[in-house]
Structures are given as C-alpha cells and as structure tokens.
C-alpha cells in the first residue's frame, strides 16, 4: 500500500509504502488501546462501587442523603404539628358536645343509660378493603378540616336546641307569670341591637317597657327577693328568685319597696318606674333568667297569656 503525502511545505510529494507488517502492527496497537479502554472502564466501575468508594465521595453522598432526610422529617413534623393542633381543637369540641348532649338528655327527660355520651358508639361489620388503603397527609388534613366544620355546625345546632328546651321547660314551670306593668309599649326587644350609648352591636338580655315615671312595677311571679338596691348599670334593681333556677330582674326603678329576703306574691308592688343607672329615659328593663342564662321574656309572657 502506497500513501502519497502532498503539502505546501514540501518541495515535492512524498510517498510512504506500507506493507503487511506495518498493517499488522497498526492493528495490534488499536487492539491494545481497546483492551486498555475496557480495563479502565472496569476499574472505574469497581472503584466507585458503594463498598469501594473513596471517603470523599462516600461523605458527599451521605451528606446529600442526610439533607434530604432532614427535609422530609421537617415536612413530616410540620404536618404532624398541624394535625395535632386540629385534633386538640376537635377533642375540646367533642368534650363540649358530650357535656351539651348530657344536658339535653336531662332536659328531654331521657334516662342517662339510653344515650351514653361517655361510651364509644358500637361499630362493626365485615372487612371490605378499599382499592387504595393508605391515606396521604393531604387527604388526612382535608378530612380533619371537614370534620372540624361538621363539629362546629353540630355544636351550634345543639346549643340552639338546648335553648329551645330550656325555654319550654321554663314555660312549664312558671305558669303564674304576669306582666310586671299594666301598660306601656316595647322600646327594645330581646336580642342583638345597636347599643344606645356606644352605637355598637350588643346583646340586650331583656325587654324595655316605656311607661311614665312612677308607674307601679309588680312581681311577675311569687318568690323571694335576692337583690334590692343600687347597681352600676341597672340603677335601682330588684331580683326575685322563683325557685327551679328561675329568676326575674326589674331595673332602672325610681324607688324600691322590698328588701332582700322578703317573700313576695305575684302582682305585689315591688318598685316604681324611673331612669336610674345606664338609661336614656323612663322605662322598665325586665329580664327572665333560667340557670343564669337570659331567656326571651316576650315569648314567655305571650305563651302564658295565651294559656
């Protein structure tokens, strides 16, 4: 084989002749290079196996794995802390519901063993596994949120039911109630209103009768006077305990004619209308309370008037 070399630096072309020996030598060199490349590749694979890594590479991989593990642990701790807070709030709400349920059971006249709020409800049945058995953290948080909203809704509804049952029980026990004044009109009903002094929304726990100064105020039912005197907000105030956790309150009077400990009868004169205390004018502020909770006197009086 002849190879002709042409170059501008050469005065004339040169000819290189390759014989069979030369070709064999070139093939041998290529084969040796190929074998060396294979050996180097095998050495690299063996050198960087997990069991034979260098200390530097092993430390770098361990640091990367440790960092990723710490990141996952931090995310897991944060998720668990959020779930723990939600569970604590729901446990408090469940305790409230248990207490509220026990009170409702008594108010409804049911036996405690019929609805036991201290025992877990009975559950059972055949086990039918779902397609996806594991629950993710996102799904768990979503279910906790739904359960929290459901507990809040049930708590509000049970509290409203308790109020209705208490009012019904109150009406049954106080059959002899009559209006404390014989005339006048309502200037402010029971419930939320705009406070006449602050202009902000506030709860009005009674009813106001607008009547002239000095109008007689009578006991709405028989009972014992438990308060008769000055009050910072109600002015001259009379409170009568009628038993069975029932109390009536008569506020802003100009004069008080009864004393603490005195037993009064329904319709007995106890005070006169005025505008003492936190008041904008002559009127009677009248409240009915059951176990310390304010009830709506208008509905109560209407029910008893109809009866």
Give the DSSP per-residue string, 189-208. -SEEEE-TTT-SEEEE-SEE
In angstroms, rounded to a whole number, what is the distance separating the alpha carbons of residues 291 and 106? 14
Which CATH number is correct for 185-306, 2.70.70.10, 2.30.30.240, 3.40.630.30, 2.40.30.10? 2.70.70.10
Q: How confident is the model at residue 229 (pLDDT cuts 50, 70, 90)?
A: very high
Top pLDDT among 305 and 62 is at 62
pLDDT winner (highest mean) among 18-22, 28-32, 147-151, 265-269: 265-269
Top pLDDT among 172 and 144 is at 144
What's the pLDDT at 264? 94
Mean pLDDT of 47-72: 68
What's the pLDDT at 255? 96
What's the pLDDT at 305? 46
Top pLDDT among 264 and 68 is at 264
Give, as one character, the DSSP assignment of residue 283.
B
Q: How confident is the model at residue 231 (pLDDT cuts 50, 70, 90)?
A: very high
Q: Between vectors from CA 116 to CA 113 and to CA 120, what angle results, nearest 5°? A: 135
Helices (H) and strands (E) in the chain, counts: 4, 14
Residue with tokens 């049970």: 158
Mean pLDDT of 97-105: 73
Answering whether pTM is above 0.75, one says no
Mean pLDDT of 51-55: 57
Report whether pLDDT(3) > 80.
no
Contact 74, 131 (CB under 8 A): no
Domain ranges of the chain: 2-47, 185-306
| Least trusted range by pLDDT, from 129-143, 222-236, 257-271 | 129-143
What's the pLDDT at 241? 93
Q: How confident is the model at residue 254 (pLDDT cuts 50, 70, 90)?
A: very high
Q: What CA–CA distances, in Å, run from 48 to 52, 60, 61, 75, 184? A: 6, 13, 12, 32, 99
**Coil, strand or helix: which one is 292?**
coil
Mean pLDDT computed over every residue of the chain: 77
Contact 290, 166 (CB under 8 A): yes
Report whether pLDDT(306) > 50.
no
| Least trusted range by pLDDT, from 32-41, 78-87, 200-209, 295-304 | 295-304
What's the pLDDT at 92? 75
Report whether pLDDT(79) > 90.
no
In angstroms, rounded to a whole number, what is the distance separating the alpha carbons of residues 297 and 306? 14
Structure tokens at 20: 């069979």
User: Which among 258, 242, 256 has a CA at the least distance from the CA of 295?
Assistant: 242
């Amino acid at each position: 084989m002849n190879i002709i070399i042409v170059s501008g630096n050469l005065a004339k072309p040169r000819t290189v002749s390759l014989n069979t020996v030369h070709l064999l030598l070139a093939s041998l060199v290529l084969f040796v290079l190929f074998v060396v490349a294979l050996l180097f590749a095998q050495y690299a694979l063996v050198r960087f196996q997990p069991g034979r890594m260098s200390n530097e590479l092993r430390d770098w991989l361990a640091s990367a794995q440790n960092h990723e593990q710490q990141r996952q642990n931090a995310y897991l701790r944060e998720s668990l802390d959020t779930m723990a807070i939600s569970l604590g709030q729901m446990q408090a709400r469940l305790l409230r519901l248990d207490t509220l349920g026990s009170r409702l059971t008594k108010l409804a006249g049911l036996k405690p063993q019929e609805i036991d709020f201290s025992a877990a409800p009975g559950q059972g049945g055949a086990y039918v596994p779902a397609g996806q058995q594991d629950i993710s953290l996102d799904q768990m948080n979503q279910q906790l949120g739904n359960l929290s909203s459901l507990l809040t809704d049930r708590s509000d509804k049970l509290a409203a039911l308790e109020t209705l049952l208490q009012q019904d029980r109150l009406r049954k026990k106080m059959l002899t109630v009559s209006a404390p004044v014989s005339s006048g009109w309502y200037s402010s009903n029971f419930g939320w209103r705009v406070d006449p002094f602050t202009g902000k929304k506030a709860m009005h726990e009674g009813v106001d009768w607008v009547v002239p100064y000095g109008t007689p105020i009578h006991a709405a039912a028989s009972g014992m006077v438990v308060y008769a005197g000055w009050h910072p907000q109600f002015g001259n105030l009379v409170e009568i305990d009628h038993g069975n956790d029932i109390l009536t309150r008569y506020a802003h009077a100009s004069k008080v004619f009864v004393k603490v400990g005195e037993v009064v009868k329904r319709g007995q004169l106890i005070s006169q209308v005025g505008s003492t205390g936190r008041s904008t004018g002559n009127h009677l502020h009248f409240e009915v309370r059951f176990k310390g909770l304010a009830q709506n006197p208008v509905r109560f009086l209407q029910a008893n008037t109809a009866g």
